[in-house]
Amino acid sequence: MILIYPPVAKPSEPPAGVAKLFGALKRHGIPCRLLDANIEGILSLLNQPIQSSDTWTSRAVRHRAAHLKELRDPRGYKSPDRYRRAVLDLNRILVKSTCDMGVRASLVNYVDQELSPLRSRDLLRAAEYPERNPFSGYFMKRLDQIVTEGEHRTIGFSLNYLSQALCTFAMAGFIKREYPSLKVILGGGLVTSWMNRPGWKNPFTGLIDAMAAGPGEQWLISYLGHVYKPGEDAPDFESLPENRYFAPGFILPFSTSSGCYWHKCCFCPETAEGNAYKPIRSSRALEQAEELAEKTGASLVHFVDNALSPAFLQEIARRGFSRPWYGFVRGNSLLADPDFAHALKRSGCIMLKLGVESGSQKVLDKLRKGIVLETLVHILKAMKSAGIGTYVYLLFGTPPEDLERARRTMIFTAQYARYIDFLNVAIFNMPVCSKEAEAYGTSPFYEGDLSLYTDFAHPLGWERSLVRSFLDKEFNRDPAISSILRREPVLFTSNHAPFFLIHGQ
């Protein structure tokens, strides 16, 4: 079969999901081919001729080879200004090369002026007219080449983000038109969320032959007519492109678990979708990561778990690791220990992504985060003393928050700004599948039968427009906070942040 990762997603590292599936298929002796159509498609658009009548685009085209080289060179992360120009110039080329088709494709997103990934009828229309997709010049030739090279019967798409949906269906439509005997199947994070929507009914019958929710190794092997043999399904990246990603060296994405070990937060899709927590034994997870890092020559390991477990953190701190690494963690007391923080640093930890969410303890308690603000302060200080960068995530507009509590978050952030390297600031969306959603007077948020979020009546009157106004007029203008926000790597955000900590000194 052929496993495809479609455009558009951040092209900084290879896709973890299809590599895990490939490893499972290989263990079962099932022939498979991987195609990262995301990186290939983006590079194809960047390298095609483009007519330009404006100075910015002309400059970007002249320097595109140099910009690509700079993003793949550690020295490119020593100057934030040069980095920003390289990213924005490359992004400009993508935008200008697709705008005549009524599409705005970028390095991180895909927006169609007429078609929405939230409407199943629009996705089917994208499949009906694949030539309309700006990546069609690339994927039609590429799919023809791959399909005719082997005896493939099934093509699977790993659809994780809304930005990939329209391209996925355009590719699926082309396959069904040109190779009607092939089976087309869908899996991935976005598909899992669709299939967990209340009252889900498959609207793609006739185009998509099967869809899978959740981890797909066992399901896929059974679908292909084989008996799944329990065992170790390690990711395999051998057939993905080497050193073509937008990063100074190969980034290895690796997961030590699926699901979330905490599994208690209000409004969490993991909880609402019933995704079970399935960890790899910590010692074996570390061994697997070491083996893959050595095999791929990784310059950085990205642990892509929802949150790294305390058990794994203790294992990697005790045994050490051969490569720089980063990942997402919860604010547990283990991380507040300065000695433990230094042990993590010695293991190669460059940066930790930390879900602070709010500077109000009442908000954290209402959301069942299991986080204590005092502990968070000790964590930030411990990480700074150890030389580990922090990428802090804040979430505004949740049901228990009001203006006063939002300002407490602003005060907290400003007070401890010297311990925070990067910030991610987001506005809360109510998941349509959340068990708590019904209590808040929900109404359609986005038009479309595939929308994952719903509008709601905020119990404290803290509506989205008020939240946006607060962020624009107060939070973002605080001098201590604005200095952090200016450090965020443009477009690539946390995916490139570790390189500024490693190489930017």
Confidence check: pLDDT of 445 > 60: no
Residue 15 identity (one-letter amino acid): P
Least confident of 43-57, 287-301, 388-402: 43-57
Confidence check: pLDDT of 295 > 70: yes
pLDDT digits 0-9 by tens, 227-240? 999 888 889 998 78
Q: Which contacts (CB < 8 Å, 24+ apart) does range 259-262 have?
A: 259/306, 260/306, 260/307, 261/307, 261/309, 262/307, 262/330, 262/370
Confidence check: pLDDT of 309 > 90: yes
Q: What is the pLDDT of residue 440?
A: 72
Least confident of 61-70, 255-264, 337-346, 474-483: 255-264
CATH of span 251-503: 3.20.20.70
Q: Show the tokens assigned to 158.
A: 């790993």
Residue ranges in 150-275 assigned as alpha helix (H): 162-178, 189-195, 217-223, 269-272
User: Per-residue DSSP letters for 209-226?
Assistant: -EE--S--HHHHHHHTT-
Instruction: Please say whether the beta carbons of 468 and 270 come within 8 A.
Output: no
| pLDDT band at residue 44 under the 50/70/90 scheme | very high
| pLDDT band at residue 243 under the 50/70/90 scheme | low
Confidence check: pLDDT of 30 > 60: yes
Stronger pLDDT, 434 or 296, i.e. the higher one: 296
Q: What is the pLDDT of residue 263?
A: 79
| pLDDT band at residue 271 under the 50/70/90 scheme | low
| pLDDT band at residue 51 under the 50/70/90 scheme | confident
Q: What is the pLDDT of residue 454?
A: 85
Instruction: Please say whether the beta carbons of 433 and 198 come within 8 A.
Output: yes
CB atoms within 10 A of CB 471: 19
pLDDT digits 0-9 by tens, 143-201? 999 999 888 999 999 999 999 999 999 999 999 999 999 999 999 999 999 998 888 99
Question: What is residue 8's three-state secondary structure?
Answer: coil
Query: Strand 349-357 vs strand 110-112: parallel, antiparallel, or unpaired?
Result: unpaired
| pLDDT band at residue 272 under the 50/70/90 scheme | low
| pLDDT band at residue 308 under the 50/70/90 scheme | very high
Q: What is the pLDDT of residue 159?
A: 98
Instruction: Please say whether the beta carbons of 175 and 182 come within 8 A.
Output: yes
Confidence check: pLDDT of 303 > 70: yes
Select from 384, 273, 251, 412 the least CA-distant residue to 327.
Answer: 251
- Average pLDDT over every residue of 54-60: 94
pLDDT digits 0-9 by tens, 338-369? 999 999 999 999 999 999 999 999 999 999 99
User: The pTM is what?
Assistant: 0.95
| pLDDT band at residue 135 under the 50/70/90 scheme | very high
Mean pLDDT of the chain: 94
- Average pLDDT over every residue of 17-34: 94
Query: Strand 443-444 vs strand 422-427: parallel, antiparallel, or unpaired?
Result: unpaired
| pLDDT band at residue 481 under the 50/70/90 scheme | very high
Domain ranges of the chain: 2-223, 251-503
- Average pLDDT over every residue of 219-224: 96
Stronger pLDDT, 377 or 272, i.e. the higher one: 377
Stronger pLDDT, 463 or 432, i.e. the higher one: 463
CB atoms within 10 A of CB 112: 22
Confidence check: pLDDT of 403 > 60: yes
| pLDDT band at residue 36 under the 50/70/90 scheme | very high
pLDDT digits 0-9 by tens, 74-98? 999 999 999 999 999 999 999 999 9
Select from 383, 384, 385, 412 the least CA-distant residue to 396.
Answer: 412
Q: What is the pLDDT of residue 446?
A: 61
